[in-house]
């Protein structure tokens, strides 16, 4: 009888150690992937901040053109303020609503900047200044960086979410407080081609 009891206790201890080992391994894997998501989020914030920092210089350059539409400038300034205010400082948004609010405010700023560039087309003397051309090139480069960093963030979120849903991690992830990470999505209407009018 004592041999059977020792075997049962040994088997229970082995199962307990296996469960603890799987839990520790799952936790460490999630922490590593969460840190990658945080790193990518910091990079997303970095490029959006770069765009926000370019806006005042762009506005000041455009203001120099006395005839320029003030309403367009006000829209850009207001959109920038909303985008900066909506930016979740620190850690990456954990809830889809947080990321959606952030993305919406950034999309509004991007839209306002696009309208500004369209209006600038009517002012050849402004378009010809070196300062404006430099700012426009920096802004275009920043928009490309934003697209790249959003893609990298989505890749990091996907790796985290995949690990989160895999067995045995799925058994302990909720207990450890880990939740699925949201993704950046396309701007509404991006699936439709722009109307071209001649």
Q: What is the pLDDT of residues 48-72, one digit of tens each?
A: 999 999 888 888 887 766 566 778 8
> Does residue 180 sit within a domain?
no
Q: What pLDDT is attached to residue 119?
A: 80
- Domain annotation covers residue 193: no
pLDDT greater than 90 at residue 149: yes
**pLDDT for 185:** 86
CATH number of the domain residue 166 falls in: 1.20.1440.20
Number of domains in the chain: 1
Q: Is the pLDDT of residue 23 over 60?
A: yes
Please choose, from the candidates 140, 128, 176, 143, the residue with its C-alpha nearest in 3D space to the C-alpha of residue 31: 176
How many C-beta atoms lie closer than 10 Å to residue 30's C-beta? Answer: 19
Assigned domain for 196 exists: no
Query: Is residue 29 included in any domain, yes or no?
Result: yes
70 inside domain: yes
Q: Residue range 133-145: average pLDDT?
A: 89
Residues spanned by the domain of 79: 13-173
Is pLDDT above 70 for 193?
no
pLDDT score for 95: 85
Given a cut of 70, is residue 191 above it in pLDDT? no
Average pLDDT over residues 169-181: 88
Q: Is residue 7 one of the residues assigned to a domain?
A: no
Domain membership flag for residue 139? yes
Tell me the pLDDT of the chain averaged across its residues.
Answer: 84
Asked if residue 6 is part of any domain, the answer here is no
Length of the chain: 198
């Amino acid at each position: 009888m004592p041999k059977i009891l020792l075997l049962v206790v040994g088997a229970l201890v082995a199962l307990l150690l296996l469960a603890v080992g799987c839990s520790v391994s799952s936790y460490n894997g999630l922490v590593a992937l969460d840190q990658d998501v945080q790193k990518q989020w910091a990079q997303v914030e970095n490029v959006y901040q770069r765009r926000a920092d370019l806006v005042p210089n762009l506005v000041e350059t455009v203001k120099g053109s006395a005839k320029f539409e003030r309403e367009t400038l006000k829209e850009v300034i207001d959109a920038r303020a909303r985008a900066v205010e909506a930016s979740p400082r620190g850690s990456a948004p954990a809830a889809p609503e947080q990321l959606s609010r952030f993305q919406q405010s950034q999309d509004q700023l991007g839209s306002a900047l696009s309208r500004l560039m369209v209006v600038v087309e009517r002012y050849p003397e402004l378009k010809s200044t070196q300062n404006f051309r430099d700012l426009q090139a920096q802004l275009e480069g920043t928009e490309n960086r934003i697209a790249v960093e959003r893609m990298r963030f989505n890749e990091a979120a996907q790796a985290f979410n995949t690990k989160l849903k895999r067995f045995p991690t799925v058994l302990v992830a909720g207990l450890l407080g880990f939740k699925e990470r949201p993704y950046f999505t396309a701007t509404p209407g991006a699936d439709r081609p722009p109307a071209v009018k001649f």
